[in-house]
Amino acid sequence: EDKVVQSPLSLVVHEGDTVTLNCSYEVTNFRSLLWYKQEKKAPTFLFMLTSSGIEKKSGRLSSILDKKELFSILNITATQTGDSAVYLCAVNSNSGYALNFGKGTSLLVTP
């Protein structure tokens, strides 16, 4: 059975800190790994990773995938209070386009 495990489950940091969120997975016929940010409503897309070792970057956020060790990390530098959210990792396999989500990491950035 496919499995996506995120850690930590929750995290509290001060503004300006750098955080690293982890996502490990076990999936048959891996196709891609996606990161989403969820505040009060539906998830908003951050990154999609398909190849190992290639960092994707968007402002203060970056992510990388290791297909050999079956994990991905999401980094947020110089955190701001607006980064407070649940960050979801999801994996997609070749058996279809449905996403298998992890439980998420709840990040709280305090002023």
Partner 1 sequence: GAVVSQHPSRVICKSGTSVKIECRSLDFQATTMFWYRQFPKKSLMLMATSNEGSKATYEQGVEKDKFLINHASLTLSTLTVTSAHPEDSSFYICSGLAGGYNEQFFGPGTRLTVL
Told to check if 28 binds partner 1 by CB under 8 A, we report no
Pick from 23, 92, 107, 109 the residue near partner 1 by CB under 8 A.
Answer: 92
Say how many C-beta atoms besides its own lie within 10 A of residue 63's C-beta. 24
| One-letter amino acid of 13 | V
For residue 2, give the DSSP letter. -
Question: Does residue 63 contact residue 47 with C-beta atoms inside 8 Å?
Answer: yes
Pick from 5, 17, 31, 61 the residue near partner 1 by CB under 8 A.
Answer: 31
Least Å distance between CB 97 and partner 1?
Answer: 5
Pick from 24, 27, 43, 109 the residue near partner 1 by CB under 8 A.
Answer: 43
Told to check if 45 binds partner 1 by CB under 8 A, we report yes
Pick from 3, 57, 60, 103 the residue near partner 1 by CB under 8 A.
Answer: 103
Q: How far apart are CA 74 and CA 45, in angstroms?
A: 13
**11, containing H or E segment:** strand 10-14
Under rule CB under 8 A, how many of the chain's residues touch partner 1? 21
